[in-house]
Amino acid sequence: MRLFAILFVILFAAITSAAQIASFPAQVASFPVAYGFSNSVIGNDGAFWIFDATYQYPPPTLMPAQAIPVRFPPIVTTHITMVDSKGNKLDAPPHSGTFYVAGVGRYAVYAIITDYVVNTTGTQTPVTYTRTLVALGPAFPATLPSIPVPMQADVKVSAVGDDGAPDEIVFIDREITPLMLGPVTQAATSVTPTAQRTVQMIQSDGKSFTSLPPITVSPQ
């Protein structure tokens, strides 16, 4: 009888826990975290840029053909404030995504925006990430000139040439981790894997981007 009572208690606890898990998505609401991250940078014209990010954590979502709710990454909104060298302040409406300063050019500050889109209609690729390079310069705050950035690319920025030359921006594929090869036998020939890398050079005057033809670079 005592063993039966113990088994009954364990079974009841398991049923209760399952019920709580099943109703978990409906009980959890999204909530914002005010200004969870902030960074800043000074442009070549003396303007001071401040990036304040707000994080909002969505409730778990039950995807099609899945029994366990999926917790997606937080929704990030960034507020941009610019204070020029004369002390005037300009604000832009909150922008979706996180801002990472890629570099400071002659005409603008260049930042990478990372954002994502949730696909709740299918089971493949529930989250799609995007990366965009924007120019924070003469067009701010009316517009943010932008250009897509490949997911597997580093971004380099430099103010080259004389005062009339455009800013130079380079997208370059990240280095690939070398593959671990198996033991080489007498009948096999050792082959070193090679990978070509793409260099995309871009010019900007702070108001627009001009892409040059891409260049393929081989490590050998």
Report pTM.
Answer: 0.71
Give the residue extent of every domain in the chain.
27-217
Q: Which of 35-44, 118-127, 143-152 has the lowest mean pLDDT?
A: 118-127
Q: Check: CB of residue 74 under 8 Å from CB of residue 98.
A: no
Q: Check: CB of residue 166 under 8 Å from CB of residue 204.
A: yes
Cα angle 169, 140, 99; round to 5: 60
For residues 203, 208, 213, 219, the Cα torsion angle rounded to the nearest 10 degrees is: 50
Q: For the chain, what is the mean pLDDT? A: 77
Which carries the bigger pLDDT value, residue 194 or residue 154?
A: 154
Question: Per-residue pLDDT tens for 169-209?
Answer: 999 987 665 555 555 555 555 555 556 788 999 999 999 99
Q: Check: CB of residue 190 under 8 Å from CB of residue 179.
A: no
| Tokens encoding 207 | 């108001």
Please list the residues that pair with 200 across neighbouring strands.
171
Question: Per-residue pLDDT tens for 83-104?
Answer: 999 999 999 889 999 999 999 9
- How far is residue 107's CA from residue 77's CA, in Å, rounded to a whole number? 25
| Tokens encoding 102 | 């890629």
Of 202, 112, 211, 207, which is closest to residue 158 (Cα–Cα)? 202
